[in-house]
Amino acid sequence: MELEKNLVSGSMSLLVMKLLEDGDLYGYQMIAELRRRSDDTFRLKAGTLYPLLHGLEQRGLVTAYERTAESGKTRRYYHLTKQGRDALQEKENAWHAYAQAVGRVLKGGACLA
């Protein structure tokens, strides 16, 4: 099943920040981990990821630093800041409220519980 692009793009910053909650990652790691955690549903491309990361960095939600790998290749790692953790919590809360509302509509009515 193919997901609508606007559904995916609207939630991508939430998903990327969630990946960084567990530790610093470089771009390819994020792409691979997102695919793995989503059972291959989310196939993020570098051309989508890096502008998103730069936007998060400009807003102070992530920071970036470079580290040389054992292979000698320099990689740019991303780190979720305190401000980013707070924003992630807000985004998660908003997502859960949204998902519950959608679920109620799909069930055919409001849940009284």
Say if CB 79 and CB 64 are below 8 A apart: yes
Its pTM surpasses 0.85: no
Structure-block tokens of residue 19:
């990946």
Residue 92 phi, psi dihedral angles, 5° rounding: -65, -45
CA 56/CA 13 separation, integer angstroms: 8
Q: Report the candidate in 51, 6, 10, 4 with the shortest Cα–Cα distance to residue 27.
A: 51
In tens, the pLDDT along 37-75 reads 999 998 899 999 999 999 999 999 999 999 998 889 999
Residue range 7-22: mean pLDDT, rounded: 84
